[in-house]
Amino acid sequence: MGRNCKVLIVGAGPGGYVAAIRAGQLGLDTVIVEGDRAGGTCLIRGCIPSKAVIHAATRFEELGAHAGDGDMGISLPDGPMLNMGKLVEWKESIVDKLNSGVEMLLKKAGVELVRGWATFRDGKTCDVETSEGSVKITAEHVVLATGSRATELSFMPFGGNIISSTEALELGELPERLVVIGAGYIGLELGIAYRKLGCQVEFIEALDHILPLYDAELVRPISMWLRKHKVPMHLSARATEAKTRGKTTTVGFTDADGKAQKAKGERVLVAVGRRPCTEGWGLENMAIDLDGPFVKVDTRCRTSMRNVWAIGDLVGEPMLAHKASAQGEMVAEIIAGHRREFDPVGIPAVCFTEPEIIGVGLTPDEAKEAGIATTVGKFPFAASGRALAMQAGTDGGFVRITARRDDNVIIGIHAVGAHVAELSGEFAHALEMSARLEDIAGTIHVHPTLTEAFAEAALAGLGHAIHVAK
């Protein structure tokens, strides 16, 4: 059985399914192949389920604060009870709903979804192993959107008590102790969530600081939370081995002084990064250049082979779902004859820790390294009425704007604090539109909202913030 089409997309994650929907909208005969469920890592076992677990963990911790004498005048006779199996069921219900939604959107756009594993014979032809047999698909254009997978440690392969973020989101029982190897955004998001649920969590991080994507000032509130909640953080430490006896796994590691140490847990979460999925689907049969572990593309996501495109995690950092979606939409439009190029001013990155972090554009240190003279405006959430009314202003959070000194054009916006992820759109929009400090300060922001802190930070950059003393 064979199928010819205009566009063949391999991988139905946030890059692939967006490319398919847009291609379908533009009237292109489109087939998308997915070996798992539509939605990819982000929807099925990453972004969405992790945020559901983080939300549930936060709700559990908040309810616990009302036990006994209570908080805010609200008290509960007993603390909350956790049913981990029910939590996972609730998380899965959200995933199922969104998965069905993606499949409905693909169908509505006229896209054919083929469930199976694609293996390429050459740059334009693949065989898809489906439950009903093999299907040969030949296309004029091929879009590779195979995503990424969790990185394994050679001496600590996944299995049993050694888990990746995928298994961490599927545990039916809460472990008493969790060892997390890696204090990047994935390790910290899940480690903090499990700590909120009552698990004893311990981190082993090879670098001398946590969250390497963010500067020390931004990370400080997260470090404060970890210390307050008695979470051991071993920095400049390297895991060396893992031995399991019964239900407990002991992780051997060397600390910052080179001394041998041990950490024990019923589960060990390995969160040392992700790598692109370049194996198992016939990349070696395609005349495509690589850039290190990634597929090499230009600013239009074209590979070295004519009419073969690649998007998302497969093509490099940042490995973010929204980057993949933007590239997927662009590629579909280019195939349809539109003039497009992937050239964003900045791509916002969010870490759903406690508190949350958002960053887009250059930090003050990065601007200095680039030889740019800057003006920095900063406003603390401790001076925000809305933040304090939400019990969110005492975590050390703030909004910081970095602008060019000569013309006040904003080149970077960063924030840390409760719910700051929801400000990411306004931050990215300001950078993309080349806003100046005066543009933000002159835009009336609703009171009382967290977005007022953005306007106040702009005022601070201009030298006359209203609600914080100089």
- Cβ atoms 345, 431 nearer than 8 A: yes
Residue reference for tokens 């904003």: 410
Average pLDDT, the chain: 96
Please list the ranges in the chain whose pLDDT falls under 70: 1
Q: Give residue 339's identity as a one-letter amino acid code.
A: R
Residue 297's closest CA among 193, 435, 142, 410? 142
For residue 195, give the H/E element and its range. Answer: helix 185-196
What is the predicted pLDDT for the residue at 438? 98
Assess whether 414 carries a catalytic annotation: no
Phi, psi dihedral angles at 326 (to 5 degrees) = -65, -40
Quick check: bond before 364 cis, omega within 30? no
What is the predicted pLDDT for the residue at 82? 95
What is the predicted pLDDT for the residue at 29? 98
CA distances, 365 to each of 176, 207, 376, 412 (Å) = 40, 19, 11, 11
Q: What is the CA radius of gyration of the chain?
A: 24
Structural domains in the chain, sorted by start: 2-149+276-335 (3.50.50.60), 162-272 (3.50.50.60), 349-462 (3.30.390.30)
Quick check: bond before 318 cis, omega within 30? yes
Model pTM score: 0.94
- Cβ atoms 407, 348 nearer than 8 A: no
What tokens appear for 458 in the block? 């702009």
Q: Give residue 205's identity as a one-letter amino acid code.
A: E
- Cβ atoms 392, 446 nearer than 8 A: no
How far is 106 from 332, CA to CA, in rounded Å? 14
How far is 175 from 248, CA to CA, in rounded Å? 10
Q: Which is the catalytic residue, given 209, 447, 464, 467?
A: 447
How far is 378 from 366, CA to CA, in rounded Å? 17
Query: What beta strand segments (E) does 70-175 contain?
Result: 112-115, 117-120, 125-130, 133-144, 148-150, 162-163
